[in-house]
Amino acid sequence: MAAPDARPSSAGPPPARSLLLPLLLVLLLAAYSLPADSAARPSSNSNPRPAFTPPLLKRHQLRRPSSSSAELVAGPANASTKPFTAHYFPQLLDHFAFTPNASTVFRHKYLLNDTFWRRPGAGAGDDGPGPLFVYTGNEGDIEWFATNTGFMFDIAPTFGALLVFIEHRFYGESKPFGNDSYRSAETLGYLTSTQALADFAVVIRGLKRDLGAEAAPVVVFGGSYGGMLASWFRLKYPHVAIGALASSAPILQFDHITPWSSFYDAVSQDFKSESSNCFGVIRAAWDVLDERGATDKGLLDLSKLFRACKTVKYAYSIRNWLWTAFTYTAMMCKTIDAFPAGADVLEKAFAAASLYYNYTGDQACNKIEDGDDPHGLDGWQWQACTEMIMPMTISNESMFPPSAFSYDDRSDECFQSWGVRPRPHWITTEYGGYKIDKVLKRFGSNIIFSNGMRDPWSRGGVLKNISSSIIALVTEKGAHHLDLRSSTKGDPDWLIEQRRQEVEIIQGWIDQYHQDMAETSS
């Protein structure tokens, strides 16, 4: 999960439309949460990519599909190399209006894996077809999430489940206006969480109808922003999904529900617990970077030190590059501590950040400015300037430079970039959040909120059971939606147990669903 850019504006001019880092997408290095004996080995689950690179939109020629809401168009995915096939659904542009534009449709991508699905009428017995396990897509290319959500593939055989991964509108290939989707507020105005949830509901209902699986129960899964959407989907569409696994979902990171400094306090504490020296080096690096980057010669020297692919224009860009890396993994403290005490602070910082960006060592240079957007993250800039307003500050005790948050400043920045002003309290108005324990206890059910306390986003998550069916699974060493990753032989016992509990709870939901259906039919 990426961190919002809480840095003060005096740090230098950011690249165009980069007010915030994309919020929730980046999957952490597995070593961030695992015991020390596993930290030294690369993991097939690790993804040491930067959280944010300046935008370069993916080019996709939009073709208008037929108006049939049940049309399924086979996609180009190669089943021999990928564990899923791509399909496209003719999705409505606007679910909440009846204006002429509302009925416009776009190609909405989703992925299927039916390898283990218990199909209708195929010896299903009294239980009918197997369940649909649906991933509610995040802010990026859905194939990335499907590839990094191995837990669903791991448990599909147990349940005889059909796996469905639905892309979030305006990301990946699901761009309603093709190449022009990010053109202006006129097009981006259709990029909202409520529209996305409605998309998911329409795809699920259409898919069940097409497959003759109307009786199949549906469980939604999601990690990070996708986890937020999964929990909100269960609350908004309880007739569509019988339950939700929301992993690392900071649904309480809005308004004044969670202390604004909690995210960076948690990151700093993680580093300090690993090494006080490491904490001190990072804390000192920011002032040194600003001082050296104040002149053209200094920027040239910094570009060489950080092996930039081309000379950087702003010290802010290097700060942003370092900031992203240091947000994600305290594993890099071992690299910092290996330097002699008198070594240059920025050399230490660069070596540590390289572990994050260039884990395999095969990159000749670093795209610190003018990089690409390989996973289609750029739409988050819009969301972070409209409804996804998560206030964050940095205290004097943090290893990051102190900074404040102002709703007015955020509003002005967003208006300058997009011509719109945020609705900072809309999320809590639409989905709730205040006194969530008392509110959801009265009407909510069947949600698992899983969090690992090594994940700084956990502070904005649900960390205590709300009721007998709204369960908080909290692990001391867990990282950002680690439970959704594929299982490995090296998984620690606490992670194995966490997943076992999730499977047990989901099985209970499905058993209760079939029991209710049997009672109704009799």
Looking at residue 378, its pLDDT comes to: 74
What does residue 360 show for φ and ψ, rounded to 5 degrees? Answer: -85, -15
CATH top class, domain 261-358: mainly alpha
pLDDT confidence bin for 331, thresholds 50/70/90: confident
Told to judge if 480 belongs to the known catalytic residues of this protein, a careful annotator would answer yes
261-358 and 85-255+427-520 share a CATH fold: no
Query: What is the CB-side half-sphere exposure of residue 339 using CA atoms within 13 A?
Result: 19
Pairwise CA distance, residues 294 & 289, whole Å: 9
Quick one: average pLDDT of 405-418? 95
Residue 280: is its pLDDT beyond 80?
Answer: yes
- In three-state secondary structure terms, 185 is helix
Quick one: average pLDDT of 37-53? 28
Pairwise CA distance, residues 67 & 88, whole Å: 13
Handedness of CA 165, 46, 139, 67 (dihedral sign): negative
Average pLDDT, the chain: 84
pLDDT confidence bin for 35, thresholds 50/70/90: very low
**E strands, 209-350, where?**
218-223, 243-247
Told to judge if 68 belongs to the known catalytic residues of this protein, a careful annotator would answer no
CA distances from residue 345 to 78, 330, 357, 379 in whole angstroms, order as listed: 47, 17, 18, 35
Residue of 46, 224, 248, 458 marked catalytic: 224
Pick the residue with more confidence: 70 or 354? 354
Which helix (H) or strand (E) covers residue 111, if one does?
A: strand 105-113
Pairwise CA distance, residues 43 & 354, whole Å: 17
Looking at residue 376, its pLDDT comes to: 57
Quick one: average pLDDT of 159-182? 96
Residues near 397 by beta carbon (within 8 Å), at least 6 away in sequence: 265, 268
Residue 66: is its pLDDT beyond 60?
Answer: no
Which residues are 436's β-sheet partners? Answer: none
Domain ranges of the chain: 85-255+427-520, 261-358, 377-422
Look up the CATH number of domain 85-255+427-520.
3.40.50.1820
DSSP labels, 78-100: -TTTSSSEEEEEEEES-SS--SG
pLDDT confidence bin for 330, thresholds 50/70/90: confident
Pick the residue with more confidence: 13 or 347? 347
The edge-to-edge listing of strands for the beta sheet with 132-136 is 73-74, 85-92, 105-113, 162-166, 132-136, 218-223, 243-247, 447-452, 470-475
Looking at residue 7, its pLDDT comes to: 37
Residue of 141, 265, 455, 483 marked catalytic: 455
pLDDT digits (tens, 9 = 90+) for 185-212: 999 999 999 999 999 999 999 999 999 9
Residue of 87, 108, 168, 480 marked catalytic: 480
Quick one: average pLDDT of 20-41? 33
Lowest mean per-residue pLDDT among 118-132, 394-408, 446-460, 475-489:
118-132
Residue 441: is its pLDDT beyond 70?
Answer: yes
Nearest partner of 109 among 133, 76, 78, judged by Cα: 76
Residue 137: is its pLDDT beyond 70?
Answer: yes
pLDDT confidence bin for 374, thresholds 50/70/90: low
pLDDT confidence bin for 123, thresholds 50/70/90: low
Work out the angle at residue 402's Cα, subtended by the Cα atoms of residues 276 and 318, and round it to the nearest 5 degrees.
80
Residue 326: is its pLDDT beyond 60?
Answer: yes
Nearest partner of 441 among 472, 399, 403, judged by Cα: 472
- Say if CB 499 and CB 153 are below 8 A apart: no
Looking at residue 361, its pLDDT comes to: 85
Residue 81: is its pLDDT beyond 70?
Answer: no
Looking at residue 251, its pLDDT comes to: 97
- In three-state secondary structure terms, 385 is coil
Looking at residue 356, its pLDDT comes to: 86
| pTM of the model as a whole | 0.84
Pick the residue with more confidence: 378 or 198? 198
pLDDT above 70: percentage of residues in the chain: 82
For 98, other C-beta atoms within 10 Å of its C-beta total 7
**E strands, 213-333, where?**
218-223, 243-247
pLDDT confidence bin for 373, thresholds 50/70/90: low
Residue 407: is its pLDDT beyond 50?
Answer: yes
Pairwise CA distance, residues 382 & 375, whole Å: 16
pLDDT digits (tens, 9 = 90+) for 224-244: 999 999 999 999 999 999 999
DSSP 8-state assignment for residue 238:
T
DSSP 8-state assignment for residue 226:
H
pLDDT above 90: percentage of residues in the chain: 74
Pick the residue with more confidence: 247 or 324? 247
Nearest partner of 27 among 141, 149, 135, 110, judged by Cα: 149
Pick the residue with more confidence: 74 or 160? 160
Looking at residue 379, its pLDDT comes to: 87
pLDDT confidence bin for 8, thresholds 50/70/90: very low
Pairwise CA distance, residues 397 & 386, whole Å: 30
Residue 80: is its pLDDT beyond 50?
Answer: no
Residue 55: is its pLDDT beyond 70?
Answer: no
Q: How many helices (H) and strands (E) does the chain have?
A: 16, 9
Residue 75: is its pLDDT beyond 60?
Answer: no
- In three-state secondary structure terms, 221 is strand
Nearest partner of 132 among 203, 70, 207, 217, judged by Cα: 217
- Say if CB 231 and CB 432 are below 8 A apart: no
DSSP 8-state assignment for residue 356:
H
Quick one: average pLDDT of 467-475? 97
Residue 278: is its pLDDT beyond 60?
Answer: yes
Pick the residue with more confidence: 27 or 89? 89
For the record, the structure tokens of 508 come out as 């209970």
- In three-state secondary structure terms, 164 is strand
Quick one: average pLDDT of 171-176? 96
Q: Which residue type sits at 349?
A: A
pLDDT confidence bin for 449, thresholds 50/70/90: very high
- Say if CB 60 and CB 179 are below 8 A apart: yes
Pairwise CA distance, residues 10 & 198, whole Å: 40
Residues near 186 by beta carbon (within 8 Å), at least 6 away in sequence: none
Quick one: average pLDDT of 80-99? 92
Looking at residue 128, its pLDDT comes to: 85
Q: Which residue type sits at 459?
A: R
For the record, the structure tokens of 110 come out as 């989703």
Told to judge if 224 belongs to the known catalytic residues of this protein, a careful annotator would answer yes
Classify residue 480 as exposed, middle or buried by CB count within 10 Å of its CB (0-12, 13-18, 19+). Answer: buried
Residue 124: is its pLDDT beyond 70?
Answer: no
